[in-house]
Amino acid sequence: MRGSGLIATGWLLLLGAPATLWASTGQERAEAAGATLIGTPAPAVRLTTIDGQKIDLARLYGHKAVYLKFWATWCVPCREQMPHFEHTYEQEGADLTVIAINAGFNDSVEDIRAYRQKLGLKMPIVLDDGSLGGALNLRVTPQHVVIGRDGRILYIGHFVDEKLEAALKAARAEPAHSVQASLTSGPARSAASAPAPGAMVQGLSIRTTSGESLPLRDPEGSRSTVIMFLSPWCESYLAESRPARAAQCRSAREQSEALAKTGNARWIGIASGLWSTSDELIKYRDEQHIAIPLSSDETGVTFRAFAVKEVPTFLVIDPKGRISRRIDKVSDDLGSQLGLAIR
């Protein structure tokens, strides 16, 4: 996805709630999301750490087991589990490689480096661009991925428990394998770059929590469409760890509701699938009395398509279907940022 090129044509994003993703705990969510991946070839990608170190996973397969942990600096259980992760890294030896994969959601390299220094972390850290998380069905943080020495996914979970320990032990106990060529062929797949102003959005639709299919472009060609990317837990979960971001999420919601009532533009809210299902989005909608149509992007396909890595983020699509504005930092005058005004 580059420059002003066509984003997609005739693509219907069916973002309803897969029943397997409705779960009460992080472990259940991670296991449900990873169920179809167990036993399949792991991504054969090349990673770059925040320090510039190159790690070619394909070259490790057949020789070492690989332990990937997806995490975020704002994630409380991630911090609680870091001592175990650091200890595992210190004990990795010749049969295991341990890599910390920052989920790349509401985090920056500066955030990660400050976090690493504060906790004294030593393991290699990669800031995901969304492609690895997409390939491994990232749904929660932390999300543990254990890859056997045969290059196949052995385990996906959330807790540090006997299941994780058993998976690590089993992966390390495997003999070296002759890995299939399919596991070692091909470079890393990069996530889409942010589409530039002028990029076309044609034929794209989303499925709302009410079951309605809505095109991102105004089908009548008369009004702009504002897409609000959000997380239903931003206002509450981040209130202590990231109070400024929580306040920004609340302000974005409140201003959006006021602006949407003017009728100056069409409005659509798309929620991240990280730590959120369609049912949880509906609960958030009802609790906050949100009238804007909402859609749950549980697989992350829409967030990746528009290279959205933090919330709140806004896109404005003009009546002709072109992206006219992108707002990554919301001010107290969102209407002016979006080119709209409350009459």
127-181 confidence digits (pLDDT tens): 999 999 999 999 999 999 999 999 999 999 999 999 999 999 999 998 887 665 4
CATH code for position 51: 3.40.30.10
- pLDDT attached to residue 242: 94
Instruction: Copy the structure tokens of residue 193.
Output: 């770059």
**Residue 341 pLDDT:** 62
Tell which residue, 301, 279, 294, 293, has the closest CA to residue 29: 279
162 with 250, same domain: the answer is: no
Residues 162 and 48 in one domain: yes
Instruction: Judge if 217 and 333 occupy the same domain.
Output: yes
- Residue 208: is it exposed, middle or buried by C-beta count within 10 angstroms (0-12/13-18/19+)? buried
Distance, CA of 337 to CA of 262 (rounded, Å): 16
- pLDDT confidence of residue 196: 77
58 with 176, same domain: the answer is yes
User: What range does the domain containing 292 cover?
Assistant: 205-338
Question: What distance in Å separates the CA atoms of residue 87 and residue 80, rounded to the nearest whole number?
Answer: 13
pTM: 0.89
Q: Is 173 found in the same domain as 48?
A: yes
C-alpha–C-alpha distance, residues 58 and 139, integer Å: 24
Domain contains 343? no
**What integer pLDDT is reported at residue 185 of this predicted model?**
39
Asked if 275 and 166 sit in the same domain, the reply is no
Q: Which residues contact 342 (CB under 8 A, 6 or more apart)?
A: 258, 259, 262, 335
Structurally, how many domains does the chain consist of?
2
DSSP 8-state assignment for residue 209: T
Instruction: Mark the ranges of the chain whose per-residue pLDDT is less than 70.
Output: 1-24, 178-192, 341-343
What is the model's pLDDT at position 204? Answer: 86
Report cis status (omega within 30 of 0) of the bond before 312: yes
pLDDT at 193: 72
Smallest CA-to-CA distance from 15 within 278, 199, 232, 192 is with 278
- Same domain membership, residue 210 and residue 177: no
3-state secondary structure 63-108: CCEEEEEEECCCCHHHHHHHHHHHHHHHCCHHHEEEEEEECCCCCC
Q: Which residues of 179-192 are buried (b: 16+ CB within 10 A; e: fewer)?
A: beeebbeeebeebb
**pLDDT for 192:** 58
